Structure 1
Amino acid sequence: MLNIEQLVAFVAAAEQGSFSAAARHLGKSQSSVSIGVNNLEVDLGITLFDRSTKYPKLTPQGERMLSQAKVLLRQAERIRNYSQASVDSVEDTLKIAIDPLLPFSLLESAIEKMSQRFPFTQVDVSRLAAHQLTNAIINDQVELGFNLAADAVPEGLDFVSIANIEWVCICSPDSIFADMQQVSNETLIGERQIVCRSMMQNTVLQAQGAFSQDIWQADDQEDVIKLVEQGIGWAIVPKDFIVEKQAMGTLIDFRPEFQRYEMMNSADVLWKTNTRLGPAAKYLCEMLGVF
């Protein structure tokens, strides 16, 4: 049976160039490293090092064994880390729900940091709108929800605002709005509007979501933007969704008559009241400035 300590001694000796250097690297005696490598050679029935020169040199079998030993040690480290994560009650899976109206960039950096801190926690991301999202948290189907502030957070849920979302009106460069300094409400009402369905379900945003007399709806915000790019209609979307499109020149934003000030909404993170969040969920919230 392979011994992890023997593999560690072997890899260290190969990488450090000698048994004495490996011993210093590992903080062990030279004899323990030498004995570990010798015992590994006996167990495997092969010679790993040519000891006929001043410094031990890997044999062809040793060269092949080195790459396999590194793989085994990485797997052993993963097993140790996973075991420690289980002891610390780290979540196997963290389920989060995001309103379709929110750009993923809002969470991107925090999720990346969480994945590095908790590499064995799988993240399950779903897009749920309005009541679906809050019901999923209440029914323990997701641990964390991210949405746009509406009327009132349902009883049984806690929330903290994590960002302000700026909204802009957009159209294609070929739209009749493109060269207008300001687009009148009457003109907007007469042109087709593309709306994300989640916007129609948000009590705060409903009025803007149903501004035009001719409305097309889509479940996904990206689909809304694609329809606008094709010149099929105009839309009101979070600014973060269109930064790259604006840079490429496939979308432009315009100022409507009804917009006297910047259109802003609060983005919130929600979780179930009196529920103890797991380490990964708590760390994600910390990275978002919640705690």
Structure 2
Amino acid sequence: MLNIEQLVAFVAAAEQGSFSAAARHLGKSQSSVSIGVNNLEVDLGVTLFDRSTKYPKLTPQGVRMLSQAKVLLRQAERIRNYSQSSVDNVEDILTIGIDPLLPFSIIESAIEKMSQRFPFTQLNVLRLSADSLTSAVSNNDVDLGFNIASDAVPEGLDFVSVGNVEWVCICSPDSMFADMPQVSNETLIGERQIACRSMVENAVLRAQGLFSQEVWRADDQEDVVKLVEQGIGWAVVPKDLMLEKKSMGTLIDFRPEFQRHEMLMSADVLWKSNAQLGPAAKYLCEILGAL
């Protein structure tokens, strides 16, 4: 049966160039490294090193074995790490719900850090409207919920702000709005507006950004952007969604009469008050709170 310590000695000797260098690298005696490699050769029935020169040199069998040994050691390390995660009660799956109004960019750096810290936790991402999102958190269907602040946070839920989302008005470069220094409220009311359904359902955003007498609705912000790109209407969207399209020349932002200052909305993360958040969920909340 393969012995992990023997594999470690073999890989170290191959990478460090000698048994003595491997011993220094591993903090062991040279004899223990040499014995480990010898025993591995006996167990496998092959010669891994040519010892006829001053420094041991891998044989053809040793070269092939080295790559396999590295794979086995990586797997062994993953097993050890996974076992430690189980001992620490790290979540196997972390489910988060995100309001369609929120661009993923507001949490993507935190998600990346969490994945590095907890590599064995699988992430399950759902897009849920505001009402569905709070219900999912309350019913333990979602561990963490991310939304745009609207009404008061429902009883039984805790929250922390994770930053502000800036909103801008956008249109196609071919739109009549494109060349206007400022678009009047009267003009906006008369032109078709494209809105995410969650925006229509959000009391604060609806009051600040819903102007037109004719409103087309879409469930997804990306669909809103695509409709505006086609010149079908104008929209109010998170600035992050507009920037790449603007650099490509398919969208522009314009200044409306009603928007005298930056339009900012707080983004919150929600969780059930009496829920026992796991280490990955806690870490994600800590990062986002710091951000």
Q: TM-score range by the shorter chain?
A: over 0.9
Corresponding residue of 1:211 = 211
Give 3-state SS (helix, strand or coil) of 1:35's partner.
helix
Corresponding residue of 1:172 = 172
Are 1:195 and 1:209, in contact at CA under 8 Å, matched by a contact in 2?
Answer: no
Are 1:89 and 1:278, in contact at CA under 8 Å, matched by a contact in 2?
Answer: yes
Corresponding residue of 1:138 = 138
In 2, Cα distance between equivalents of 1:40 and 1:156: 60
| 1:257 shift after superposition | 1.7
| 1:61 shift after superposition | 0.4
Q: Which runs of 5+ in 1 are unaligned?
A: none
Q: Which runs of 5+ in 2 are unaligned?
A: none
| 1:240 shift after superposition | 1.3
In 2, Cα distance between equivalents of 1:50 and 1:290: 56
In 1, Cα distance between equivalents of 2:92 and 2:223: 32
| 1:164 shift after superposition | 1.2
Bigger Cα displacement from structure 2, 253-262 vs 270-279: 253-262
In 2, Cα distance between equivalents of 1:176 and 1:229: 13
Query: Which AA in structure 2 matches 1:129?
Result: S
Cα-to-partner distance string for 1:216-262 (whole Å, 9 max, x where unaligned) = 11111011011111111000011111111112221111111222222
Cα-to-partner distance string for 1:82-132 (whole Å, 9 max, x where unaligned) = 000000111111111111111111001111111111110111111111110
| 1:207 shift after superposition | 3.0
Query: Which AA in structure 2 matches 1:19?
Result: F
Query: Which AA in structure 1 matches 2:170?
Result: I
User: Identity, % of aligned pairs?
Assistant: 82
Corresponding residue of 2:27 = 27
More helix by share: 2
In 1, Cα distance between equivalents of 2:131 and 2:239: 24
Cα-to-partner distance string for 1:112-163 (whole Å, 9 max, x where unaligned) = 1111111101111111111100001001011111100011111110111111
Query: Which AA in structure 1 matches 2:49?
Result: F
In 2, Cα distance between equivalents of 1:222 and 1:205: 18
1:201 aligned to 2:206?
A: no
Task: Provide the TM-score with structure 1 as the length reference.
Answer: 0.97
Are 1:163 and 1:266, in contact at CA under 8 Å, matched by a contact in 2?
Answer: yes
Corresponding residue of 2:43 = 43
Are 2:161 and 2:289, in contact at CA under 8 Å, matched by a contact in 1?
Answer: no
In 2, Cα distance between equivalents of 1:67 and 1:161: 48
Q: How many residues align?
A: 291
Corresponding residue of 1:87 = 87
Query: Which AA in structure 2 matches 1:284?
Result: L
Output aligned runs, 1:1-291, within 5 Å. 1-208=1-208, 210-289=210-289
In 2, Cα distance between equivalents of 1:238 and 1:191: 20
